[in-house]
Amino acid sequence: MAKRKRIYLDYAAATPLDSRVMKEVILHFKKSFGNTMSLHSFGQAAKEVLENSREKVASLMGAQRDEVIFTGSATEANNFALKGVAFANKSRGKHIIISAVEHPCIAESAHWLGLQGFEITELKVDKYGLVDPKDVEKALRKETILVSVMHANNEIGTIQPIAEIGAVCRKAAVFFHTDAAQSFGKIPIDVDKMNIDLLTASSHKMYGPKGAACLFKRKKVKIEPLLHGGGHESGYRSSTVNVPAIAGFAKACELCREEMASEAERLSHLRDKLISGILTEVKDTQLNGHAVKRLPNNVNISFFFVEGESLMMQLDLMGIAVSTGSACSSKKLEPSRVLQAIGLKPHQIHGSLRLSLGRQTTKEEIDYVLKVLPQAVENLRKISPFSR
Amino acid sequence: MPDNKEYTKKVIQHFKNPHNFGRIKNADGIGKVGNIFCGDVMWVYIKVGKNRKGKEIIKEIKFETFGCVAAVATSSVITDLAKGKTIEEALDINKKEIADSLGGLPPIKLHCSVLAADALSEAVYDYLFKKKKDIPEKLTARHERIQKELKLIEEKYQDYVEIRKRALGK
């Protein structure tokens, strides 16, 4: 059998390293191995790479260089934002607001803070997954210290009205954090214009290496570190700094800065082609999330009468890699919280599939997916007792 | 394609080319287990015949399943295991035998093997019940357990019972 090309449509889970980024990472693995805390020339050379990288990452979000704190992952940055702000500001109040569609690293951090005596409000979303800024306003109390609403959703790609939510928080003098792991580098972000006080970004979602991420934090925001020690990152995050990964993150930011507009347009076009192709070619399907307020690379569709893990595996056998919100594929056997929050019933969640596009996605790949996907669905429907 | 580390080759083979799927028209017994709320539904159809010694055997068996990779694979493999067996032997097929004949299942998916064994025993129960034959005490107890579990879930997800009925065309 001829070896079939494999198609990767799970860029929301992880992206491949851009070869231009890889060059940069390898260069700094060789060159910049010194500890940034060392005063000798090796340490100082690494420190210079680190600070130049900080500048590049900051500039992609319209921030100042010294407002960016590097972390090892977006999960760490989100834990840091919630727990760090909670503990540093608890004398002012113990109330925190998040949305119902946050990534588990926000939701679980908030849950943990709840166990430590903080009070958590989880805002409902509409059927598209959108938070209403008015709901944020209504939920604010005088004890509220932090609001955290993600920029774009990892499962359904819905883009929140961040500037409006930020304005509500600004007016009430409450810190506003947004998890931009899925959106940073894909759509424009300006922390000033969008009234953001804290923002999480991740390198490996934008063709940079894993092991690098950051938390943007305005100087006025008081925060406690998660990691205490030698005082790296201005004392906010002790740990010997992973300079090569961070240099790669910075290079990835540079590339996204240059290519974002054209890439967003290209991907939106492919996304819409894939969505309308599936909805017309496969009956008993529905799009999850918003048609327009949507990441350029996200497709999430429910296939009724089919279980998502099985559909994912059917596609994997055809060489196509996607993901699902089905309970059966989760390690906890729980259906996607995001799809529950937008009001989907279990039978709609079981058959949900996320296809996320990226830099190497071509029109030919999308055509191939549209050609074989109906067969994959049919293979499962024909053995299912529900579709006849 | 690289091997899947979650599922064994056997599981993937059964998933890719399931054995004995479909319906049996005028089946002697049908076992329906699982529910759409949890994500796995298995229906097993049997035709009963007699072997040379005159003992009742599973002459024909087919399945219809809505579920994950493990649910499809366990449904497929239980039809292989049960075909040609006497009714007593078929009722003895347990979750371990099912999992073993697939080269193992991920721990979190072991419940699928329970579901497959339940589906077969429900089909046998249905056959014996319809034919007004003696039903072994153990099988009655098992039937009651399965039905009780189903009821609990339906109560939990009452909103969705209607959807299920529609999906099943009732």
Q: Are A315 and A322 in contact (CB under 8 A)?
A: yes
On the question of pLDDT at B32 being above 60, the answer is: yes
Measured between CB atoms, which of B4, B41, B69 is closest to A385? B41
CB contact under 8 A, B39 and A313: no
Contact B111, B34 (CB under 8 A): no
CA A370 to chain centre: 26
Res B166: pLDDT: 56
- Which two tokens mark A193? 């214009």
Tell me if B170 is assigned to some domain.
no
CA distances from B170 to A3, B161, B162, B164, B165 (A): 46, 11, 10, 9, 5
- Between CA A385 and CA A195 the distance in angstroms is 52
Q: Which long-range contacts (CB under 8 A, 24 or more apart) does A300-303 make?
A: A300/A155, A300/A156, A300/A157, A300/A325, A300/A352, A300/A353, A300/A354, A300/A355, A301/A275, A301/A352, A301/A353, A301/A355, A302/A344, A302/A348, A302/A349, A302/A351, A302/A352, A302/A353, A303/A351, A303/A352, A303/A353, A303/A377
Which residues on A lie below 8 Å from B19 (Cβ)? none
Residue B3 falls within a domain, yes or no?
no
Q: What is the CATH number of the domain that holds B124?
A: 3.90.1010.10
**pLDDT of res. B39:** 78
Q: Assess A340–B contact: CB distance below 8 Å, yes or no.
A: no
Contact B64 A384 (CB under 8 A): yes
Q: Average pLDDT in the B53-77 region?
A: 96
B27 contacts B44 by C-beta, under 8 angstroms = no
ipTM above 0.90, yes or no: no
Give pLDDT, residue B161: 55
A307: contact with B, CB 8 A cutoff:
yes
User: A6 at the B interface (CB within 8 A)?
Assistant: yes
Catalytic sites of B, residue numbers: 38, 112
Cβ contacts below 8 Å, chain A against chain B, sum to 84
Q: What's the Rg (C-alpha) of chain A?
A: 22
Number of domains in chain B: 1
Question: Quick count: other Cβ atoms within 10 Å of Cβ A217?
Answer: 26
**Whether the predicted pLDDT of B38 surpasses 80:** no
Q: pTM higher than 0.90 for the full model? A: yes
Q: Which amino acid is at A384?
A: S
Overall average pLDDT of the B9-26 stretch = 96
Residue B124 lies in a domain: yes
Cβ <8 Å between B159 and A346? no
Domains by residue range for chain A, with CATH: 7-15+260-381 (3.90.1150.10), 19-255 (3.40.640.10)
Average pLDDT on B141-161 reads: 81
Encoding tokens for residue A52? Answer: 């130049």
CA distance B129 to chain A (A): 23
Q: What angle do CA B107, B108, B114 make, to 5 degrees?
A: 85
Residues in chain A: 388
Question: Which residue on chain A is closest to B71 by alpha carbon?
Answer: A310
Q: Which domain holds residue B13?
A: 9-163
**Is residue B1 domain-resident?**
no
A313 touches B: beta carbon within 8 Å: yes
Contacts of B13 in chain A (CB under 8 A): none
**Over its length of 388 residues, how does chain A's per-residue pLDDT go in tens digits?**
445 689 999 999 999 999 999 999 999 999 999 999 999 999 999 999 999 999 999 999 999 999 999 999 999 999 999 999 999 999 999 999 999 999 999 999 999 999 999 999 999 999 999 999 999 999 999 999 999 999 999 999 999 999 999 999 999 999 999 999 999 999 999 999 999 999 999 999 999 999 999 999 999 999 999 999 999 999 999 999 999 999 999 999 999 999 999 999 999 999 999 999 999 999 999 999 999 999 999 999 999 989 999 999 999 999 999 999 876 766 667 788 999 999 998 878 899 999 999 999 999 999 999 999 999 999 999 999 886 6
pLDDT at residue B156, as a whole number? 74
Q: How far is B21 from chain A (nearest CA, A)?
A: 6
Contacts of B4 in chain A (CB under 8 A): 313, 316
CB-CB under 8 Å, A346 with B36: yes
Say if CB A67 and CB A192 are below 8 A apart: no
pLDDT at residue B116 above 80? yes
The pLDDT-based confidence of B151 (bands split at 50, 70, 90) is confident
Say if B49 falls within a structural domain: yes
> Using the beta-carbon criterion (under 8 Å), do A328 and B39 form an inter-chain contact?
yes
- What φ, ψ does residue B65 adopt, rounded to 5°? -135, 135
Which whole-number Å values give the CA distances from A1 to A4, A315, B1, B15, in the listed order?
8, 18, 12, 20
Question: B168 lies in a domain?
Answer: no
CA A84 – CA A113 distance, rounded (Å) = 11
Are A242 and A211 spatial neighbours (Cβ–Cβ below 8 Å)? yes
Q: Do A309 and B41 touch (CB under 8 A)?
A: no
Q: Is A319 on the interface with B (CB under 8 A)?
A: yes
* Interchain contact, B18 vs A350, CB within 8 Å: no
Chain A interface, best mutation among B9, B15, B24, B66, by max A CB count within 10 A: B66
Predicted pLDDT of residue A4 = 66
* Closest by CA position to A50, among listed A65, A30, A62: A65
Q: Give the per-residue pLDDT at A348.
A: 85
Average pLDDT, integer, range B77-94:
96
Is A329's Cβ below 8 Å from some Cβ in B? Answer: yes
Question: Would you call B1 and A317 a contact, using CB atoms and an 8 Å cutoff?
Answer: yes
